[in-house]
Structure 1
Amino acid sequence: MKKRLISSYDEINDTFVGKVDGEKGYCADYGISDGIYLGINNSNFPNSIIVPQASKVLDTSKETLESPDVKININCDDIFIHFDLCIEDSKICSITCKNSFGIPKMECLIDSNI
């Protein structure tokens, strides 16, 4: 499945936020890695990401985080969540964590360029 991403970066507070276009509200935020939080809707599908202290957590420059060209790829099965964050076609972050959050089996590309 493909969805449109709206992302923003607050340089003063060093916070990166990405949200699926058209999604309203959320059910919960889950820490999938140190400093990276995945928001899910009431159907347990991912609909946002929040990264406080983003330049430190993602180990990249604030200038890179300001780019509007962002893609998030999320693949889930019963055991794992695989999460990739790319900015300007460069992989900034790749995480695999246990799917202990009840997210259903899915493959989703959330892209700012759709």
Structure 2
Amino acid sequence: MKKRLISSYDEVNDTFVGKIDGEIGFCVDFDISDGVFLGINKNNCPNSVYICNASSVLNVSKQTLENSNVKIKINCNSICLYFTMFIENLCICSLRCKNIFDIPLVDFEMDSNF
């Protein structure tokens, strides 16, 4: 499944925010890795991403984070959640964590160019 991503980067506060177009709010926010938060909707599906201290957490320049060509892939099974983030088709972040969040089986992509 593919959804349209709306993303923004605040250079002053060094925060990256991305959300699925048309989604309003979230029910819960999970810290899936140091500084990477995943918002979950009422159906337990991911609908937003928040990264504080983004340039440090992702180990990229602030200039890179200002690019609007962002793609986020989220795959989840009963054991693990996989989070991958691309900017200009370059993989800048790839995380795996235990699925302790009751997220159902999902395989989708949030793409700013969708």
TM-score range, shorter chain: over 0.9
- The separation in 2 between residues aligned to 1:89 and 1:56, in whole angstroms, is 20
**Aligned match of 1:83:** 83
**Aligned match of 1:20:** 20
Question: Following TM superposition, by how much is the alpha carbon of 1:25 offset from its aligned partner in structure 2, in angstroms?
Answer: 1.3
Structure 1 gap segments, 5+ residues each? none
1:64 is paired with a residue of what secondary structure?
Answer: helix
- The separation in 2 between residues aligned to 1:25 and 1:13, in whole angstroms, is 21
**Aligned match of 1:70:** 70
1:51 aligns with 2:14: no
**What TM-score do you get using the length of structure 1 for normalisation?**
0.99
1:102 is paired with a residue of what secondary structure?
Answer: coil
- CA root-mean-square deviation: 0.4
Question: Following TM superposition, by how much is the alpha carbon of 1:31 offset from its aligned partner in structure 2, in angstroms?
Answer: 0.5
Structure 2 gap segments, 5+ residues each? none
Question: Following TM superposition, by how much is the alpha carbon of 1:5 offset from its aligned partner in structure 2, in angstroms?
Answer: 0.1
Question: Following TM superposition, by how much is the alpha carbon of 1:87 offset from its aligned partner in structure 2, in angstroms?
Answer: 0.3
| Residue identity opposite 2:75 in structure 1 | N
| Residue identity opposite 1:71 in structure 2 | K
**What TM-score do you get using the length of structure 2 for normalisation?**
0.99
